[in-house]
Homo-oligomer: A and B are copies of this chain.
Amino acid sequence: MIYAAILGFGVVGSGTAQVLEQRKHDLDPSIGLKYILDLREFPDSPFRSLLVRDFGIIEQDPEVSVVIETIGGVGAAYEFTRRSLMAGKSVVTSNKELVATHGPELMALAKEHGCAYLFEASVGGGIPVLGPIQNCLSGGEITQVRGIINGTTNYILTRMLREGAEYEAVLKDAQALGYAERDPSADVDGLDAGRKISILASLCFGHYIHPDTVSIRGIREIRREDTALLGEAGYELKLLGRSYRQGERIAAYVAPHAVPRDSLLASIHGVTNAVEVLGKSVGSVLFAGPGAGSLPTASAVVGDVIELSRHPGAEYKPFWTRESAVTPIPEEEIAGAWILRVAAGTRIPETELLASQGGYDALLTRRINRRKMEEITRGATVFAAYRVLD
């Protein structure tokens, strides 16, 4: 029997309480939920008797060995995580911002105090991604990781393509349905995907990629003419987080990509997320599933808690450290093919016509970096330029 406390009784926190309750009788060793920290009152919740407002109660209870942090952000979450680890309590979290920003420090602190900092739920919600990368895929050298790691933007792009709808209209709808926040910038500007690719890249390559060094481009400027024209050319438009080795350097960025329709990533629609890992031996492996949501994310959180309960006292080495931080290659320098949307009949040297639709042409460049792409298109009117996934 081990005892756990949940910090923050929001979407993920309440889901976690629910999953722990459902599984109460079939977990071995069993996991007892002892406290839930929240400042709000929940008079109708079946868990109301567990609510406390003072973190000190949890911190000082020697029976609690696992703290589940689902507060989010880098304020109270950061402080309580530090204090939990310093008290020798392992921390499990879904908080990607905290992991991306302070992960190396918190993993070091955990090691120093003989406990663990685990965060499977921070990337890909309910999809097991970090665990398989850390364990099963460790057999062969990883060369690249890329994925659709933000459900809101994928939902918007999927509907734009299917319905020929305009960005603003779909966004409004997504907000009404609860798939997008009232202030959607963290999603649509690529910030959320940037944090997740920072975590994925750090784990895959063992070097810390700070989220502030990840170049991000979002989907605000995408027009329905783009999704329609790319569709005509045999591509889906997807916001991808992407990171790979280039010699001794690492590239990490978020940008909309033209994804060939026969690629598995092109089949990932709506709020589904997917992460693809390329390795020297394994080729390509894809993980897909619900990237967010209360119960899926909670099931990943509980998975980490179960791992801790099964291996009490196991030593966890930091998955990456601050000392091995690398500066990613600037996005402008990363080479690849591009698809340009131009007015029908526009000629640009060294490009090939892919498709025409609604008065526009899709032109394909050879493999060049952004600087070179801007150079060859100088003087021409280019409405949009998308990297092609290769």
Residue in B126, B268, B281, B300 whose CB lies within 8 Å of A126:
B281
Most chain B C-beta atoms within 10 Å of own C-beta, residue among A136, A137, A140, A300:
A136
A295–B140 touching, CB < 8 Å: yes
Binds B, one of A47-55, A306-314, A370-378, A382-390: A306-314
B303–A23 touching, CB < 8 Å: no
B295–A285 touching, CB < 8 Å: no
The chain B residue with its CB closest to the CB of A126 is: B282
Docked pose: A299 CA to B126 CA in angstroms? 25
Within the complex, what minimum Cβ distance (angstroms) separates A139 from chain B? 3
Docked pose: A227 CA to B243 CA in angstroms? 39
A282–B267 touching, CB < 8 Å: no
A135–B128 touching, CB < 8 Å: yes
**Hey, what's the 0/1 contact readout for A7-25 against B, CB within 8 Å counting as 1?**
0000000010001001100
B141–A120 touching, CB < 8 Å: no
Using A303-B136, A311-B314 as known contacts, say yes or no to A298 and B281 having CB atoms under 8 A apart: yes
B141–A23 touching, CB < 8 Å: yes
B128–A302 touching, CB < 8 Å: no
Using A287-B287, A288-B285 as known contacts, say yes or no to A137 and B311 having CB atoms under 8 A apart: no
- Interface range for A: 35 or more
| Chain B positions within 8 Å of A62 at CB level | none
CB within 8 Å of B: which A281-296 residues: 281-290, 293, 295-296
Is A301 an interface residue when CB atoms closer than 8 A count as contact? yes
Most chain B C-beta atoms within 10 Å of own C-beta, residue among A23, A120, A285, A288:
A285
| Chain B positions within 8 Å of A279 at CB level | 299
Docked pose: A22 CA to B296 CA in angstroms? 37
A295–B281 touching, CB < 8 Å: yes
Within the complex, what minimum Cβ distance (angstroms) separates A147 from chain B? 13
B288–A264 touching, CB < 8 Å: yes
Docked pose: A339 CA to B269 CA in angstroms? 26
Within the complex, what minimum Cβ distance (angstroms) separates A303 from chain B? 4
Within the complex, what minimum Cβ distance (angstroms) separates A291 from chain B? 11
Is A185 an interface residue when CB atoms closer than 8 A count as contact? no
Is A280 an interface residue when CB atoms closer than 8 A count as contact? yes
| Chain B positions within 8 Å of A293 at CB level | 283
| Chain B positions within 8 Å of A283 at CB level | 126, 289-290, 293, 295-296
Is A131 an interface residue when CB atoms closer than 8 A count as contact? yes
Is A127 an interface residue when CB atoms closer than 8 A count as contact? yes
B302–A139 touching, CB < 8 Å: yes
B22–A141 touching, CB < 8 Å: yes
Most chain B C-beta atoms within 10 Å of own C-beta, residue among A126, A269, A300, A307:
A126
Within the complex, what minimum Cβ distance (angstroms) separates A6 from chain B? 14
Is A132 an interface residue when CB atoms closer than 8 A count as contact? yes
The chain B residue with its CB closest to the CB of A138 is: B306
Docked pose: A295 CA to B19 CA in angstroms? 38
A285–B281 touching, CB < 8 Å: no
Docked pose: A314 CA to B139 CA in angstroms? 19
B19–A299 touching, CB < 8 Å: no
A19–B140 touching, CB < 8 Å: yes
Docked pose: A314 CA to B314 CA in angstroms? 9
The chain B residue with its CB closest to the CB of A140 is: B299
B303–A138 touching, CB < 8 Å: yes
B141–A131 touching, CB < 8 Å: no
Docked pose: A19 CA to B140 CA in angstroms? 7
Given contacts A139-B300, A139-B302, A282-B296, 6 further A-B contacts (CB under 8 A): A22-B281, A127-B285, A131-B135, A137-B303, A280-B295, A284-B290
- In the complex, 5 of the A-B residue pairs with CB atoms within 8 angstroms, ordered by the A residue number, are A126-B283, A131-B136, A139-B302, A283-B293, A311-B314
